Every structure is written in C-alpha cells, then in structure tokens.
C-alpha cells in the first residue's frame, strides 16, 4: 500500500482500496497505523470533485538503510520511505577476508552517513542487507556454501541489528539487484524477469509472476555454478567446470595476466576493452558468449519477459551484450529466442537500491502484520480478497526473510498479506 501511495504521490483511501484490492476497512486500518508510525500524513482534499482525506508518504517518516556487500566493496545508501536517497557511499573492502571486519566497516559507514545528513540511528526504520552468496531459508544466515567461509559461522543480519538498533533483512545480492532493476531500472513494468549479475562471480535473481523466487533452500538463480565442462577446472563451489570458472573475475584476469600485467580488476579490464584494446575486448566478448549460452538455457526453463544484465562486467555494454545476445537464438527454443537482453539501468547501484526496497517493503509488512493481528476473522484481510493483479504486483509473496531485532515479527502472518509492488 505504501508503494501505491509512493507511486502516485497522493491517493484517497478509496483510490488505495481500488488499486490494491484491499477492503476499505483494511485500508483504513493500515492507513491509520502508518500515520501513527509517522510513515504517512493525512490531510483534507478534493479527489474526483468530492471531498476526501488524502494520504501522502511523509518525507520525514523515517529512514531506511541499504547495504550491499560485494566480494571487493561495500556500498551503503540511506533513503527516506519515498526512496529519495539522502546519502550514499562505496568503499573498497576485501569482504571475504573477515566477516567481522567487513561488518565493522559497514557499521562505521552507516554512522558516518547518518551524521552527514544530521540524524542518528534512532531514525532508521529498517535495514536491507545484500551478500554475494545464497542466503538460507531463514533469510538471515548464509546457506551451506563453501564461498565466503568467514561468514559461515556468524549471523550477519543479527550481528548488524544488534549494532544498528534496527531490524535487518538479508538476501542474496543478485536477488536484490533484481529488485532494484524491477523498481527503478530496466525491469519496470515487467512481472517475469531474469537479472544476471556478472561481477567477481556470476549469479541471477529471478522474478516470477512479480515475486523474487528464492527456491526451497534459498539458492535459486545460482547460474554461475551450472556445469559447462564436466572435466573443467575445479570451482570455488567444489564442482568442476562451472560457468564461473569461465567468466568469474579471477578466470578472466588470468587470461590476460601475461599480456596485460597491469590489469588487475574487472573494472580495469572493462576500461581497457572500452578504450579499444583488442585482447581485453576478446576476453569480454568470450565471457558474453559463455553467459549467453547459460542465459538461453535459463530462458528455456524460466521464460522471462526480459533479461537484464548488471554487475561490473556489464559496464562493457554491447562489447559484452552483443555476443551474449547472439548466443540466444543458437541455444534457446524458438518461443524464447527473441527474449530482449538489456543492460541494467541502475548500474552498480542495483543491489543497494534493491536493499532499500527490501527494507521499505519489510517495514510496511510489519504494519500489515499488526493490522492482521487487529483484524476481525472474517476473511477480509486474506489473500483471496486481493485482486490477482495487485498480488502479482506485490513482489514479495514467497519471500520469507526473517526479521532480526524485532521479536514480535511473525512471518506466518506476513506470508498471507500483500505488499506494495514496483513503482
């Protein structure tokens, strides 16, 4: 509901009920709870020639924090509930070397950004956290996975929640990238989307019927570990010949180690390729072809409306995307061969923007849950009362992020409630 108000700027309660499919009684309950929490403001106005109470998202209704941990960076953004970003920063950090050190850097950055905009942690309503590894079904800890071993023994969401004093919701970074592009980028207006993040590793965030699909164990979309060569090099996951052993940063950089000893990062590789360096262009193009093979097969299985490619490697633009696109008709069945493959519009910010979306959605969900607890048992608040289009737009029906730092949370109730969808 908050998303609907945010998207339209201002709405009456009747308009909210029509857009979301909620009953007028439910809308009234939620609006007043959001107003009590200072998330929205109410004022008299004229809607459709008649007097009506207008609902707006308050610009001073609190803040959310988005945290994106890559393998080599941390990006932090602070926004209000209308997604107006008030402060943002990226720092280089070897995130895999020490989880506790990386979390300390993030905590310090959050404090600095809040200070810059003249506020404190008290104003933070929720935090979204992205990590470059699959999150387990509880949504707070990493799935059993031999990547990021220093993170395996801690609960990063709980750790940060205790230090930031706000609920923290975690997800895989590609899932957040998909959410960022769905709201603000090339995925707007699309309900079935495959977002491919090509950076140090390779992963996909899958949006199916408007929902981010995480799978039974939380590892859906791990396309970097599809087997391309059964007898190929051993991958960080323990298998052999995964796609990542062909297009992951360490492998691409190894290809040019002798010819380009000064090129040590994917960003430098892309810069050289864009500057016309033939060797770097070849490495990027071959990566595009390999990713295209998997993207085509992914389209055969999932049939997205659009494939959006983000991550550091995607900064190469058509040097990466043209070979990727050319692989599609070669390996995809005819019904999906023409699936558009486009670059992410939010660039390297997709994941942190997705983290902000996750935080706002979960903040809203807590209010929806409170409303559930108060609602009479008449079925008016059940999923069945929601128009399918509104539910499809909701975007989080199958997400079961565990809230950390808010013991009152009950996601059994959350799973029955719709939440606001893409703007």
Q: Which is nearer to Zn ion, 116 or 254 (CB)?
A: 254
* Interacting span for Zn ion (CB under 5 A) from 100-108, 232-240, 253-261, 402-410: 232-240
Considering the complex, what minimum distance in angstroms separates the CB of residue 246 from Zn ion? 11
235 is a contact residue toward Zn ion (CB under 5 A): yes
Considering the complex, what minimum distance in angstroms separates the CB of residue 64 from Zn ion? 33
* Interacting span for Zn ion (CB under 5 A) from 72-80, 112-120, 221-229, 272-280: 221-229
Q: Which is nearer to Zn ion, 246 or 336 (CB)?
A: 246
225 is a contact residue toward Zn ion (CB under 5 A): yes
What Å distances lie between residue 86 and 93, 115, 172, CA to CA? 23, 11, 24
How many residues bind Zn ion, per CB under 5 A? 5
Considering the complex, what minimum distance in angstroms separates the CB of residue 290 from Zn ion? 14
Of 398, 337, 57, the closest CA to residue 207 belongs to 398
Task: Give the angle subtended at the CA of 328 by the CAs of 325 and 329, to the nearest 5°.
Answer: 120
The torsion of the CA quartet 178, 307, 199, 67, rounded to 10 degrees, works out to -10
Helical H segments across 339-419, by residue range: 350-374, 388-394, 411-414
* Interacting span for Zn ion (CB under 5 A) from 122-130, 218-226, 306-314, 379-387: 218-226
> H or E segment at 157?
helix 156-164
What CA–CA distance (Å, rounded) separates 22 from 383?
A: 9
Considering the complex, what minimum distance in angstroms separates the CB of residue 250 from Zn ion? 12
391 is a contact residue toward Zn ion (CB under 5 A): no
Radius of gyration of the CA atoms of the chain, in A? 22
290 is a contact residue toward Zn ion (CB under 5 A): no
What CA–CA distance (Å, rounded) separates 126 from 111?
A: 14
Q: Which is nearer to Zn ion, 237 or 253 (CB)?
A: 237
Pairing relationship of beta strands 40-47 and 11-12 according to DSSP bridges: unpaired
Considering the complex, what minimum distance in angstroms separates the CB of residue 203 from Zn ion? 11
Contact 204, 295 (CB under 8 A): no
Considering the complex, what minimum distance in angstroms separates the CB of residue 235 from Zn ion? 3
Considering the complex, what minimum distance in angstroms separates the CB of residue 218 from Zn ion? 17
Of 312, 398, 377, 382, the closest CA to residue 351 belongs to 312
Walk across the sheet containing 50-57 and list its strands.
11-12, 50-57, 40-47
User: Which member of 35, 237, 342, 370 binds Zn ion (CB under 5 A)?
Assistant: 237
What CA–CA distance (Å, rounded) separates 167 from 161?
A: 6
Q: Which is nearer to Zn ion, 160 or 235 (CB)?
A: 235
Q: Which is nearer to Zn ion, 66 or 201 (CB)?
A: 201
Q: Which is nearer to Zn ion, 239 or 385 (CB)?
A: 239
Q: Which is nearer to Zn ion, 17 or 202 (CB)?
A: 202
Contact 243, 228 (CB under 8 A): yes
242 is a contact residue toward Zn ion (CB under 5 A): yes
246 is a contact residue toward Zn ion (CB under 5 A): no
Q: Which of residues 46-85 bind Zn ion (CB under 5 A)?
A: none
Q: Which is nearer to Zn ion, 224 or 292 (CB)?
A: 224
Q: Which of residues 336-355 bind Zn ion (CB under 5 A)?
A: none
Helical H segments across 165-277, by residue range: 173-184, 244-247, 249-255, 266-274
* Interacting span for Zn ion (CB under 5 A) from 169-177, 182-190, 234-242, 339-347: 234-242
* 3-state DSSP assignment of residue 210: coil
What CA–CA distance (Å, rounded) separates 105 from 95?
A: 10
Q: Which is nearer to Zn ion, 239 or 300 (CB)?
A: 239
105 is a contact residue toward Zn ion (CB under 5 A): no
- Judged by the rule CB under 5 A, the positions of this chain that interact with Zn ion are 225, 235, 237, 239, 242
């Amino acid at each position: 509901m908050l998303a609907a108000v945010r998207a339209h700027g201002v709405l009456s309660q009747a308009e909210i009920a029509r857009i979301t499919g909620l009953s007028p009684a439910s809308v009234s309950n939620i609006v007043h709870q959001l107003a009590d929490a200072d998330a929205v403001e109410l004022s008299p106005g004229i809607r459709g020639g008649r007097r009506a109470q207008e609902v707006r998202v308050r610009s001073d209704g609190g803040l959310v924090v988005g945290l994106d941990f890559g393998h080599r960076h941390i990006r932090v953004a602070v926004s209000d509930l209308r997604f107006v970003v008030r402060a943002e920063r990226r720092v280089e950090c070897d995130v895999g070397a020490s989880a506790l050190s990386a979390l300390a850097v993030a905590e310090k950055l959050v404090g600095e950004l809040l200070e810059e905009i003249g506020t404190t942690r008290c104003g933070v309503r929720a935090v979204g956290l992205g990590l470059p590894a699959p999150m387990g079904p509880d949504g707070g800890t990493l799935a059993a996975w031999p990547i990021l071993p220093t993170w395996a023994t801690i609960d990063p969401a709980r750790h940060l929640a205790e230090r930031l004093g706000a609920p923290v919701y975690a997800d895989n970074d590609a899932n957040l990238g998909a959410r960022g592009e769905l709201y603000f980028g090339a995925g707007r207006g699309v309900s079935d989307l495959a977002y491919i993040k090509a950076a140090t590793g390779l992963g996909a965030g899958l949006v199916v019927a408007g929902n981010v699909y995480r799978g039974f164990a939380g590892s859906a979309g791990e396309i970097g570990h599809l087997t391309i060569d059964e007898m190929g090099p051993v991958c960080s996951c323990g298998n052999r010949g995964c796609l990542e052993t062909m297009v992951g940063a360490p492998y691409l950089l190894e290809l040019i180690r002798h010819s380009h000893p000064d090129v040590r990062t994917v960003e430098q590789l892309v810069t050289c390729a864009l500057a016309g360096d033939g060797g770097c262009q070849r490495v990027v193009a071959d990566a595009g072809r390999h990713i295209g093979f998997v993207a085509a097969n992914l389209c055969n299985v999932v049939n997205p409306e659009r494939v959006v490619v983000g991550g550091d490697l995607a900064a190469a633009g058509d040097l990466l995307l043209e070979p990727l696109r050319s692989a599609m008709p070669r390996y995809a069945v005819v019904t999906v061969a023409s699936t558009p493959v486009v670059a992410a519009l939010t660039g390297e910010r997709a994941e942190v923007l997705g983290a902000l979306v996750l935080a706002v959605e979960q903040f809203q969900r807590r209010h929806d849950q409170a409303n559930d607890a108060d609602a009479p048992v008449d079925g008016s608040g059940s999923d069945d009362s929601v128009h399918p289009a509104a539910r499809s737009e909701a975007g989080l029906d199958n997400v079961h992020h565990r809230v950390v730092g808010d013991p009152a949370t009950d996601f059994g109730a959350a799973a029955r409630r719709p939440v606001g969808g893409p703007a």
